[in-house]
C-alpha cells in the first residue's frame, strides 16, 4: 500500500521517560508504515532542554505558531530531585506553561470512552470535555497572613497617581488575605477558543461561574462570554445546531451529574483544575484522557493528559517488563494528523486517523489491553499486554480494518 503524503510539516515535540519510549514505538509501528511523515522535530527531553537553556521549548512553540499543528510527548517539569538526577543548570519551567504562554491557548481535556471501562456516573454516555482557562486568578495571586489588628484595603493606583480604594476587612483577630486578577484580553481569548472548539467538534458549550456572589470579577467573565457569543458566534452556532449555555457553577455541577455527556464545559482556572481531575477519574483512567491546547487564532497542540509515567520508566530501565497505556499518546498523534489532514485537505490522512482510533478502541473492546485498564475493565475475558505488544495488537487491528475496507 502506498504511504499517505503530507503537505505541511507537523511540529513534533518529543519528551521524557516512559512516554518517550512509547513515542518511538508508536512512530515505528503505527505511523511510519502508513504515512510519509513530514515533521519538524524538536527534542523537549529534559537533557536537551538543559543543553539549549530551554531555547528548544520556545523554538517549538514558535514552530507551532508558524505551522498551526503540533503533537507533544509528556515532559518532566523539573523539581529539586530532577535538578540532581539530570544535573540541571537551572530549574527550567514547565514546557507546557511556556508553550501555553506563547500560544495564549486554552486546554481542552476529553476522555476516550470504550466498552468495558464504564464511567462511575451511570448516566454518562458520551465524553465530557473540560476547557480550562489557563491564566490568572488564584494561580497568580498575592497572599498575606494577618497577625495583628488592622484594616485591609484594595488599592488601585492609576498611572496618573490617582487612587481607587475599597475596604476588604477590618481585622480584629488574626486571619488571611488574598489578592488576584485577570485580564479582559485573556478572558476574550479563552471565550473565542471555547466557541471555536465547540464549532470544530460540533458540541454544545456550557460555561459557569459564581457571578451571583462575585458580582464584578466572575460577572466580567460571564459578560465577556455573552458579548463575544452575540457579536461573533451566535449565527454560526445556530447554523451548526449547537448551543451556548451559561449557568451558575453550582447548577452546572448538578446538571453535569445528571447529563449524558457530549458537551464542552468551560471552567475558570481553579474550577478547571479541580473538575478535570473529577471528570477523568469518573470516566475511569488518566491514561485515557486526551488534551489539546487551542489558541484563539487557531493553532493546535495535541498531547496526552498524563505525565511521563516515571515509575514505569524506572522498571523499563532495569530491563523489567512494563504495561504502560499508550492510548492517550496514540490519540495525540491521530488528533494532530487529523487536524493536519483537515487543514491541508488530505482526506486520506483524516481517514487514517479515524481508522487508527477505531483500531485502538476495537483492540480494547476485544479484550486486549494494558494492565491499568485490565484492573478496571468489566469485560469477562481480558488479556493483559505489555507496552510494546499492545501497540502491535493495535497495528494488527488496524491492518484488519484496512483489509475489510479493501
Ligand atoms: P504520571 O506520569 O501521570 O503518572 C502517575 C501514575 O499514574 C503512574 O505512576 C501510573 O500509576 C499512572 N499512569 C499515568 N499514566 C499512565 C499510563 N499511560 N499507563 C499506565 N499508568 C499510567 O504522573 P507523575 O508520576 O506524577 O509525574 C511524572 C512526571 O511527569 C513528572 O516529572 C511530571 O513533571 C511530569 N508530568 C508531565 C505532564 C505533561 O507533560 N503534560 C503532565 C503531568 C506530569 P502506577 O504507577 O500505579 O501504575
Ligand atoms: Mg490539578
Tell me: pLDDT of 403 over 90.
no
Q: Is the CB of 131 under 6 A from ligand 1?
A: no
- Which CATH number, 3.40.50.10320, 3.40.718.10, 2.60.40.770, 3.40.109.10, labels domain 118-141+180-283? 3.40.718.10
- CB of 218 within 6 A of ligand 1: the answer is no
Q: Is 209 in the pocket of ligand 1 (CB under 6 A)?
A: no
Which residue, by CA, sits nearest to atom 37 of ligand 1? 307
Tell me if 285 CB under 6 Å of ligand 1. no
Q: Does ligand 1 lie within 6 Å of residue 291's CB atom?
A: no
How far is the centre of ligand 1, averaged over its atoms, from the C-alpha of 19 (Å)? 9
Higher-scoring residue by pLDDT: 141, 168: 168
Q: Number of C-alpha atoms within 13 angstroms, CB side, residue 176? A: 4
Does ligand 1 lie within 6 Å of residue 329's CB atom? Answer: no
Residue ranges of domains in the chain: 1-111+301-406, 118-141+180-283, 142-179
State which ligand 1 atom lies nearest to the alpha carbon of 72: 40
Nearest to 30 by CA among 385, 397, 405, 290: 397
Q: How do beta strands 163-171 and 150-157 pair?
A: antiparallel
Q: What percent of the chain has pLDDT over 70?
A: 99
d(CA 165, CA 361): 58
The pLDDT of 147-156, averaged and rounded, is 97
77 lines ligand 1 (CB under 6 A): yes
Q: Which ligand is nearest to the CA of 287?
A: 1
Res. 257: pLDDT tops 80: yes
Mutation pick for ligand 1 pocket among 309, 328, 371, 375 (CB with most ligand atoms within 8 Å)? 309
Closest residue CA from atom 5 of ligand 1: 309
Give the closest ligand to the alpha carbon of residue 270: 2
With 80 as the cut, is the pLDDT of residue 45 above it?
A: yes
Three-class DSSP category at 15: coil
pLDDT (mean) for 49-74: 98
Nearest CA, atom 31, ligand 1 = 76
Residue whose CA is at the smallest distance from ligand 1 atom 6? 309
| Residue matched to cell numbers 527550567 | 92
What's the DSSP call for residue 232? I
pLDDT (tens digit, 9 = 90+) per residue, 317-369? 999 999 999 999 999 999 999 999 999 999 999 999 999 999 999 999 999 99
pLDDT in tens, 283-310: 878 889 999 999 888 899 999 999 999 9
Per-residue CA distances from 391 to 32, 297, 332, 401 (Å): 13, 34, 14, 15
Task: Return the ligand number nearest the Cα of 14.
Answer: 1
Equal CATH topology for 1-111+301-406 and 118-141+180-283 = yes
Q: With beta carbons less than 8 A apart as the criterion, state whether 265 and 259 touch.
A: no
Going by alpha carbons, the residue nearest to atom 30 of ligand 1 is 307
User: Angle at which helices 95-103 and 55-67 pack, to 10 degrees?
Assistant: 40
Residue 149 CA to ligand 1 center (angstroms) comes to: 45
Q: Is the pLDDT of residue 405 over 70?
A: no
Give the closest residue (by CA) to ligand 1 atom 45. Answer: 311
Q: 44 CB less than 6 Å from ligand 1?
A: no
Residue holding cell 478535570? 276
Q: Is 35 in the pocket of ligand 1 (CB under 6 A)?
A: no
Overall size of the chain counted in residues: 406
Give the CATH class of 1-111+301-406: alpha beta
pTM given for the model: 0.90
Residue-level pLDDT at 245: 97
Residue nearest ligand 1's atom 1 by CA:
307
Which ligand has the minimum distance to the alpha carbon of residue 331? Answer: 1
pLDDT, tens only, 278-289: 898 898 788 899
121 phi and psi angles, rounded to 5 deg: -90, 115
Decide whether any atom of ligand 1 lies within 6 Å of the 76 Cβ. Answer: yes
Q: 87-91, 125-129, 343-347, 401-405: lowest mean pLDDT where?
A: 401-405
Q: Which ligand is nearest to the CA of 387?
A: 1
Amino acid at each position: 500500500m502506498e504511504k499517505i503524503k503530507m503537505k505541511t510539516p507537523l511540529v513534533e515535540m518529543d519528551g521524557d521517560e516512559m512516554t518517550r519510549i512509547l513515542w518511538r514505538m508508536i512512530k515505528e509501528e503505527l505511523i511510519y508504515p502508513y504515512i510519509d511523515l513530514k515533521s519538524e522535530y524538536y527534542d523537549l527531553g529534559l537533557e536537551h532542554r538543559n543543553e539549549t537553556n530551554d531555547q528548544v521549548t520556545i523554538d517549538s512553540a514558535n514552530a507551532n505558531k508558524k505551522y498551526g499543528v503540533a503533537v507533544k510527548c509528556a515532559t518532566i517539569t523539573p523539581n529539586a530531585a530532577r535538578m540532581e538526577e539530570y544535573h540541571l543548570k537551572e530549574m527550567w519551567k514547565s514546557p507546557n506553561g511556556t508553550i501555553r504562554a506563547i500560544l495564549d491557548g486554552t486546554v481542552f481535556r476529553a476522555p476516550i470512552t470504550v466498552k468495558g471501562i464504564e464511567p462511575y456516573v451511570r448516566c454518562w454516555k458520551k465524553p465530557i470535555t473540560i476547557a480550562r482557562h489557563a491564566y490568572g486568578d488564584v494561580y497568580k495571586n498575592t497572599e498575606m497572613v494577618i497577625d495583628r489588628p488592622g484594616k485591609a484595603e484594595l488599592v488601585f493606583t492609576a498611572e496618573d497617581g490617582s487612587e481607587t480604594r475599597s475596604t476588604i476587612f477590618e481585622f480584629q483577630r488574626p486571619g488571611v488575605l488574598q489578592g488576584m486578577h485577570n485580564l479582559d484580553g485573556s478572558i476574550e481569548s479563552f471565550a473565542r477558543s471555547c466557541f471555536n472548539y465547540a464549532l470544530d467538534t460540533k458540541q454544545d458549550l456550557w460555561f459557569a461561574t459564581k457571578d451571583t456572589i462575585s458580582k464584578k470579577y466572575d460577572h466580567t467573565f460571564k459578560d465577556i462570554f455573552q458579548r463575544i457569543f452575540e457579536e461573533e458566534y451566535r449565527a454560526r452556532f445556530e447554523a451548526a445546531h449547537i448551543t451556548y449555555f451559561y449557568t451558575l457553577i453550582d447548577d452546572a455541577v448538578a446538571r453535569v451529574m445528571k447529563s449524558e455527556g457530549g458537551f464542552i464545559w468551560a471552567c475558570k482556572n481553579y474550577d478547571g483544575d479541580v473538575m478535570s481531575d473529577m471528570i477523568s477519574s469518573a470516566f475511569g483512567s488518566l491514561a485515557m484522557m486526551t488534551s489539546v491546547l487551542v489558541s484563539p487564532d487557531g493553532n493546535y497542540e495535541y498531547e496526552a493528559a498524563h505525565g511521563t509515567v516515571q515509575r514505569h520508566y524506572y522498571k523499563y530501565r532495569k530491563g523489567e517488563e512494563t504495561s504502560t497505556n499508550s492510548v492517550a499518546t496514540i490519540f495525540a498523534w491521530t488528533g494532530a494528523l487529523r487536524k493536519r489532514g483537515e487543514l491541508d485537505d488530505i482526506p486520506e490522512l483524516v481517514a487514517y486517523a479515524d481508522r487508527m482510533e477505531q483500531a485502538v478502541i476495537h483492540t480494547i473492546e476485544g479484550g486486549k489491553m494494558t494492565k491499568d485498564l485490565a484492573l478496571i475493565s468489566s469485560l469477562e475475558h481480558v488479556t493483559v499486554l505489555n507496552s510494546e505488544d499492545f501497540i502491535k495488537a493495535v497495528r494488527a487491528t488496524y491492518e484488519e480494518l484496512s483489509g475489510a475496507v479493501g
